[in-house]
Amino acid sequence: MSFVNHCRASSPNPSAGVRPHLGARVGRSGVLVLAMVLVLASASCAAITTAPARTYGTFVDRAVQTATSASSAVATAQLAAKAGAEGKGTGAYLSVLIGKAEDSLGAVTTTFESILPPDRRSDRLREELAELLSLAGDDVSAARIAIRRGERRQLPDLSYALGRHAEALTKFADEHK
Amino acid sequence: MKKFFSIFLGVVTAIGGFVDMGDLVANAAVGARFGVNLAWVIVVGIIGIVVFAEMSGRVAAITGRAVFDLIRERLGPRAAAVNLGASFFINLLTLTAEIAGVSIAISLVASISYILLLPLSAVLICLVLWRMPFEWLERLLGILGLALLVFAVAVVKIGPDWNRLISDVLTPGVPSEETVWTYAYYGIALFGAAMTPYEVFFFSSGAIEDGWSAEDLKVARVNTFIGFPLGGLLSLAIMTSSMLTFGDIGVEIENLAQVPLPVVLNLGKLGLAVALVGIFAATFGAALETSLSAGYGIAQYFGWQWGKYVKPQEAARFHLVALMTLIAALLFALTGADPIKVTEYSIVLSAAALPLTYLPILVIANDPGYMGERTNGRFTNALASLFLVILLLVSVAAIPLIIITRGGA
């Protein structure tokens, strides 16, 4: 039997064709409900991510989230700088890796800075975290430039500095949890 | 000797072809965040996919017909349409993630934005789909996927405390800094990644493409029973390498470029090259499979001519659906949707739709009208029924968990 014929051999099995349809009652309403749930799920995720901070407690939560995400990005950049310093990754790979870490750090920084602090205490917290983010951002950028230029000599120092920034951000998050 | 070689090749292909973008992302993300506390889910997922892949392969070999063809006939057009719609939607999400994965793998070599590489990847997928014979396509990418074994080498090179590692695997729990909800969410993501519906549709349709008959069942079983569990070891290696590298420093997996970093830090540039070959093969292979699965599902549902061995002009609608799905996925990926999020949602939503795929297979595999004397045995039915309960629980919990955990945040 040729393959074409094999595939065409899909006519209903006579002995099975008379069996009742198990899902005859399943209709369009099921699909609509599923679609609504999916929309609700996506909307709830988006709403929670962009909701404003109305109280000090909420602002602290957002600051902790920001510090945790930033620490992750900075630690990734530190590992990229370490790999670059030890000559372990290709320039192309490390460039993309650290570029993504920089983008991620930039995104969380921008999002945090766009949140209006609700009171004076929040102002101080905002300043503290903004400084940590700024220092880390400068060194991530410096490491990206060094990797792209192939300047390996700078990378051990930058790797060390990035490790310290990641630790500082983690400490900030832990202290305010 | 020829039979041994055929079995060996099949097993190797099953191992290398087991991992896709969903497995890469889910295992690396879970390893970084939960260590090996969710490794048991991979084991459960592998048992599940082995049970149902064997069943769907047997159904295809005995009836000479693929899954969707039978689902429509057995469940009726309405229920089958719901099944088809859900499977197609998840397939589209998965294909989007795989195309992005292929592009990111190339971008890590070329240092060009992956968005710019998306059309190139789609053209490449299209050309291979068009020109490469099915058997070659399956085997070549499966064998190249074995390059992911480099993650296991990296784990050995890191040299973990094996006793502690094994103890952690055997005594799982929710880490103190996590909630039970995020634990459940990522557990479901891992489960969905291991039991992605397209794998069964592709496996079943591939059995028809390869012309399986009852005589091929032994070889098919060996491939399934040995190949899939060994493929699961790749998943465990990715998870463990991620835990050992990122776990203590709080790194979250946010992009595919982070996944091979444990290999880079421990095996250098050569390790990176091998890992990238593996990631490319895994995502490219899965992109081909999901494109074909889209065509298989719709063509089988509507009773059109289908098959990769059939000349395009003789199965024009099947090829057109595969092509249009590829274009739709490309357009979706070009919107700049985060590939990691698309991957996470595709595997969690696929978990939500799992009963729609696996219940009909179980029903058909027990129907003597289709299977004659080759219906499920008691043990298979007991195991499959147990899994069906798990699948239903996972299905009910998946979408609420997306909402409660804000997508695993």
Q: Do A9 and B65 touch (CB under 8 A)?
A: yes
Token pair 């098919």 in the structure block, residue: B220
- Chain B: give the shortest CA distance to residue A67, in Å: 11
> In this predicted model, what pLDDT tens digit does every residue of B95-121 receive, in sequence order?
999 999 999 999 999 988 999 999 999
- The answer to whether the CB atoms of A79 and B265 lie below 8 A apart is yes
Angle subtended at Cα B301 by Cα B296 and Cα B302, rounded to the nearest 5 degrees: 105
Within an 8 Å CB–CB cutoff, is residue A150 touching chain B? no
pLDDT in tens, chain A (177 residues): 333 333 333 333 333 333 444 444 444 555 555 555 555 555 554 444 445 678 888 999 999 999 999 999 999 999 999 999 999 999 999 999 999 999 999 999 999 999 988 888 999 999 999 999 999 999 999 999 999 998 989 999 999 999 999 999 999 999 988
Of the candidate ranges B1-10, B165-174, B320-329, B387-396, the one whose mean pLDDT is the lowest: B1-10
A43 touches chain B (CB under 8 A): no
Q: Output the CA torsion sign for A155, A157, A163, A165.
A: negative
Q: Would you say B18 and B149 are in contact if contact means Cβ atoms under 8 Å apart? A: no
Beta carbons of A92 and B73 less than 8 Å apart: no
**Nearest chain A alpha carbon to B370:** A16
The pTM of the full predicted model, rounded to 2 decimals, is 0.86
Cα Rg, chain B, nearest whole Å: 20
Would you call A14 an interface residue with chain B, using a CB distance cutoff of 8 Å?
no
Q: Which residues of B are less than 8 Å from A87 in CB distance?
A: 268-269
Choose among B76, B260, B369: nearest Cβ to A15. B369
Instruction: Kindly report the nearest CA distance between residue B84 and chain A, in angstroms.
Output: 11
Is B353 within 8 Å of B86 (Cβ atoms)?
yes
How far away is chain B from the Cα of A148, in angstroms, using its nearest Cα?
10
What length is written for chain B?
A: 409
Query: What is the per-residue pLDDT for B220?
Result: 82
The C-alpha atoms of residue A137 and residue B384 are separated, in whole angstroms, by 52
Would an 8 Å CB–CB cutoff place A19 in contact with chain B?
yes
Question: Could you tell me the two tokens for A145?
Answer: 């430039």
Please tell me the distance from the alpha carbon of residue B198 to that of residue B193, in angstroms, as a whole number: 11
